[in-house]
Structure 1
């Protein structure tokens, strides 16, 4: 699978394919694609402490929502249910990872960070934060059972 990702990067050498460009704010620039491979490429390219958190989040999502659909679009991993849209997105910023629950206003408790979109709510993870996997799993489970975002 990793070879397919490298081929999508055009004429770059393998060493360049291993190190995606980090966009402003530290978000990895990963080619758009469906499935686990582009998501794993994104996670591997997350800088510093964020990559470990990305692996933990991805594993938690897979455990919580068996058969979850994955893709990378707009340089962000998305998680969804086939035929129902996307329920969660991940994005790296300089000082934190942003989890976007696309129907987060319907979750209990509501994730703490508001969005311009009245339905979307965010949860930020900073370096050194204790990851409350039980709370995240409850949000992920609830979000996966709601109609998702369809771009």
Structure 2
């Protein structure tokens, strides 16, 4: 029984990959200027998630756990990276953008990976995401 990410979407969550290599390959295919942002986010997520699971689907990198489902997705565009939180509305101080339970923040610089973002990641690993 899959939880919907928003509205009446019928998309199914991705299947976990066999390890982190799928994320590394996805990051290599992104815009060179955005790779430092992605690498820093990836490091934070790997440290924050207990027994992390990874997937790439719909050109998005997904991070989660077996217990909580997919909690964060990274979406890389030409000049920015969106960090999406599947249960962001449940955070004490939710990210500013999004609808329903899904919230996100847009980053254009590695300097924007700050304490606030680290707090959102810490919140994400404590709540159920997309299952």
**TM-score over 0.5 for the pair:** yes
Q: CA deviation at 1:95?
A: 2.5
Look up the match of 1:97: 81
Q: Which runs of 5+ in 1 are unaligned?
A: 1-31
Q: Does 1:137 align with 2:118?
A: yes
Distance 1:81 1:89 in 2: 13
Look up the match of 2:11: none
SS of alignment partner, residue 130 of structure 1: helix
Per the normalisation by structure 2, the TM-score is 0.80
Distance 1:106 1:83 in 2: 17
CA displacement, residues 86-114 of structure 1 (integer Å, 9 cap, x when unaligned): 00001112221111100011112110112
Distance 1:80 1:133 in 2: 21
Q: Which runs of 5+ in 2 are unaligned?
A: 1-14
Q: Which runs of 4+ in 1 moved over 6 A?
A: none
> Larger relative contact order (C-alpha < 8 A, sep ≥ 6)?
2
Superposition RMSD in Å: 1.8
Q: For this pair of structures, how many residues does the alignment match? A: 116
